[in-house]
């Protein structure tokens, strides 16, 4: 019997998958516990609609990530920090600081976890990699000065 799972079931499948299970297993276990629904026309159309909506969502996220990457690629972000007489910073410039400056300058909110950046402990220019989506990223530079 073909059924569409309504919950993840270990060893059987994930939520929303169309599976083929034995009639007895479906009638006696899956259907009474509402773990699955019979694969009729309505359930199949809902499954197709959900899949197309998910596909559309992924496409729009990829397009937005590509647009953001194009806006950030090759840019230089300037940060100011206090330092001692030898040029060593009091503290360090972190990915959180870089995310805040990108948000102010470009109006793009980026999670600090998606910024690959070794903390800057002295003045200079540092390369930064921003991971926007799976396989889509942007490279930019951070200039730390007074």
Domain spans in the chain, listed from the N-terminal domain onward: 2-61, 66-145
What would the CATH number be for the domain defined by 2-61?
Answer: 3.40.5.10
At 28, the pLDDT band (50, 70, 90 cuts) reads very high
Q: 36: closest CA among 53, 22, 19?
A: 19
Q: Where are the beta strands (DSSP E) in 56-135?
A: 76-80, 88-93, 115-116, 120-122, 124-133
Mean pLDDT (the chain) is 89
pTM exceeds 0.75: no
Q: What is the pLDDT of residues 72-99, one digit of tens each?
A: 888 888 988 888 888 788 888 888 988 9
Q: Given this structure, which CATH class describes domain 66-145?
A: alpha beta
């Amino acid at each position: 019997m073909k059924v569409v799972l309504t919950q993840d079931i270990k060893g059987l499948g994930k939520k929303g998958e169309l599976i083929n299970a034995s009639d007895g297993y479906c009638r006696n276990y899956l259907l009474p516990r509402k773990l699955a629904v019979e694969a009729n026309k309505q359930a199949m159309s809902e499954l197709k609609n959900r899949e197309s909506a998910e596909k559309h969502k992924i496409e729009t996220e990829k397009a937005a990530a590509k647009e953001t990457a194009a806006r950030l690629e090759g840019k230089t972000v300037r940060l100011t920090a206090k330092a001692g007489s030898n040029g060593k910073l009091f503290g360090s410039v972190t990915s959180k600081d870089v995310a805040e400056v990108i948000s102010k300058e470009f109006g793009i909110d980026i999670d600090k976890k998606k910024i690959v950046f070794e903390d800057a402990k002295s003045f200079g220019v540092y390369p930064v990699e921003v991971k926007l989506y799976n396989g889509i990223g942007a490279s930019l530079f951070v200039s730390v000065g007074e």
